[in-house]
Amino acid sequence: MRRWLATAAMAGLLALSACGGQEPGGTQATGGTAGGKQQVEVFSWWTGPGEADGLKAMVQIFQKQYPNYQFFDAAVAGGSGDKAKALLKTKLDGNQPPDTFQGHAGAELQGYIQDGKLEELNFLYDELKLRDVFPSQLVEQISVDGKIYSVPVNIHRSNVMWFNPNVLKEAGITAPPKTLDEFIAALEKVKGTGKIPLSIGSEWTVTHLLESVLLGSMGTDAYNALFKPGANWASPEVKTALEKFNTIMSYAGDPQDDWQPAAKQVADGQAAFNIMGDWAYGYFHNPPEGGLGKKSKVDFDWAPSPGTEGTYLWLSDSFTLPKGAKNREGAIAWLKVAASKEGQDAFNPKKGSIPARKDADKSLYTDYLADALEDWSGNKLAGSIQHGVAVNQPWLASINEAVGLYLGTKDVAALQQALDAAAKANLQ
Ligand code: GAL
């Protein structure tokens, strides 16, 4: 982990000194022109199958509406922004920001805001009357002292259990497990068939699994209280949740490189279950150029992660306006597309997410996405840990480190101590 960070920081330094290069992934000096058009450098981590489709759809609208600008894709590969965020920090610290970058609405952006790296966007919210089109709870989440610093383009759900109906059938599982104990029993049944009970990807996907297990074991109010002053991560309730997590992890297959290969094991019938955000839907469902072109309810199916039905463990991708953006006007044009009904309705059906706007065209959201829209409107809310809602970046880094150590030792008591220490260090 440390070695990787060092590499990323080095990549960042190289990026800062590489003037005029053309490599994607943020290694190009920005503010340039291409074919007489001024470039707009958009930084994200949506390069992989499934994710890139959504971005591409929004880019098409951007290019149509703003023919004088050229979209420049500065995406850095790696699910959940694992690698992108380290490089972004280097760029921001070196005052070489992209024109706009993707960040999660909520606690993730706090550090950038406190460090004065972002422009406030109240002017855009006023001009486009955005407070009327986004849910008020979302606007609250992204406001700091009445100022808003990002434009949410979607709502993703983290607590989704994807499963392969045939593999479940083979194992004699007649209905998707609804509680963590049922889940553990189902994993045991799959083990008996020789298939992988639970697929996992790189380290962050295990933190992703952990948040669903914490929510499923503790319940929504107790989960949400974990991020408020006075939270007690040393409690017997957290201990129970972590013990269940440890049992569940004992059924995990070999860690895959990222979330896509882990999800694919389910869609291909090699594994029974994968707990992953609904970006997996875009990946499963989109046609083969970008996705897997799999059949819903045949090759893959879904249910809320065990124990979490009735709660939307949410996160939101949003775009920002860094101070010192070389093409500020171009970035604002991008933000306008990201905020618009047309932009969101192009992006989200491909991305596997639902629009942040309340007035989107519902007929475009079918199959899994229709379920998601319905649940979003009626469920309780809980904020994702791994995807920036509930904890800020230093806290998440400590949680990821604790999970990383756990993966080596499988020491649940040490995991709880490390999570407790991380909460104490980050909660005032
Ligand atoms: C999340 C992000 C999603 C998706 C996912 C996997 O953090 O919000 O949009 O990209 O990572 O990479």
Is residue 154 pLDDT above 70, yes or no? yes
Give the distance (Å) from ligand 1 centre to CA of residue 236. Answer: 32
**Can you give the pLDDT at residue 141?**
84
**Can you give the pLDDT at residue 304?**
98
What is the DSSP annotation of 174-233?
Answer: -S---SHHHHHHHHHHHHTTTSEEE---SHHHHHHHHHHHHHHHH-HHHHHHTTSTT--T
At residue 254, what is the residue type? D
Which residue has its alpha carbon closest to ligand 1 atom 9?
A: 317
Do 7-151+318-373 and 157-313+385-426 come out as alike in CATH topology? yes
| Domain 157-313+385-426 CATH superfamily | Periplasmic binding protein-like II (3.40.190.10)
Lowest mean pLDDT among 2-16, 52-66, 176-190: 2-16
Give the distance (Å) from ligand 1 centre to CA of residue 233. Answer: 26
Span 299-305, average pLDDT: 98
- How confident is the model over 340-381, as pLDDT tens digits? 999 999 999 999 999 999 999 999 999 999 999 999 999 999
Span 103-110, average pLDDT: 94
Span 16-39, average pLDDT: 53
Average pLDDT, the chain: 92
- Report the distance separating Cα 271 and Cα 261, nearest Å: 11
**Can you give the pLDDT at residue 142?**
87
Ligand 1 atom with least separation from CA of 44: 10
Ligand 1 atom with least separation from CA of 353: 9
**Can you give the pLDDT at residue 82?**
87
pTM: 0.92
- Nearest 5 degrees, angle CA 263-CA 268-CA 272? 65
Is residue 15 pLDDT above 80, yes or no? no
Ligand 1 atom with least separation from CA of 46: 10
Is residue 4 pLDDT above 50, yes or no? no
Is residue 164 pLDDT above 90, yes or no? yes
Is residue 140 pLDDT above 80, yes or no? yes
Give the distance (Å) from ligand 1 centre to CA of residue 80. Answer: 4
Is residue 29 pLDDT above 70, yes or no? no
- How confident is the model over 189-238, as pLDDT tens digits? 999 999 999 999 999 999 999 999 999 999 999 999 999 999 999 999 99
Best residue among 80, 314, 316 to mutate for probing ligand 1's pocket (most ligand atoms within 8 Å of CB) is 80
- Report the distance separating Cα 52 and Cα 25, nearest Å: 13
Is residue 256 pLDDT above 90, yes or no? yes
Give the distance (Å) from ligand 1 centre to CA of residue 47. Answer: 11
Is residue 108 pLDDT above 50, yes or no? yes
Give the distance (Å) from ligand 1 centre to CA of residue 279. Answer: 7
Is residue 12 pLDDT above 90, yes or no? no
Residues with CB under 6 A from ligand 1: 45-46, 51, 79-81, 104, 156, 259, 277, 279, 315, 317, 387
Span 49-57, average pLDDT: 93
- Report the distance separating Cα 168 and Cα 175, nearest Å: 8
Is residue 401 pLDDT above 90, yes or no? yes
Strands 317-320 and 160-163, how do they pair? Answer: unpaired
Is residue 16 pLDDT above 70, yes or no? no
Is residue 96 pLDDT above 70, yes or no? yes
Residue 100: C-alpha distances to residues 84, 187, 238, 268, 277 (Å): 13, 43, 38, 37, 24
Read off φ and ψ for residue 101, nearest 5 degrees.
-135, 155
Question: How does residue 49 score in pLDDT terms, banded at 50, 70 and 90?
Answer: confident
Which residue has its alpha carbon closest to ligand 1 atom 11?
A: 80
Percent of the chain residues topping a pLDDT of 90: 89
More confident residue, 37 or 312: 312
List all residues 6 or more positions away from 312 whose beta carbon is below 8 Å from its beta carbon: 157, 159, 375, 376, 379, 380, 381, 382
Give the distance (Å) from ligand 1 centre to CA of residue 399. Answer: 18
Q: Where are the domains of the chain?
A: 7-151+318-373, 157-313+385-426
Is residue 31 pLDDT above 90, yes or no? no
**Can you give the pLDDT at residue 137?**
86
Is residue 27 pLDDT above 90, yes or no? no
Is residue 7 pLDDT above 70, yes or no? no
**Can you give the pLDDT at residue 30?**
53
**Can you give the pLDDT at residue 35?**
79
Ligand 1 atom with least separation from CA of 259: 6
List all residues 6 or more positions away from 90 whose beta carbon is below 8 Å from its beta carbon: 8, 9, 11, 12, 13, 15, 16
Range 7-151+318-373: architecture per CATH: 3-Layer(aba) Sandwich (3.40)
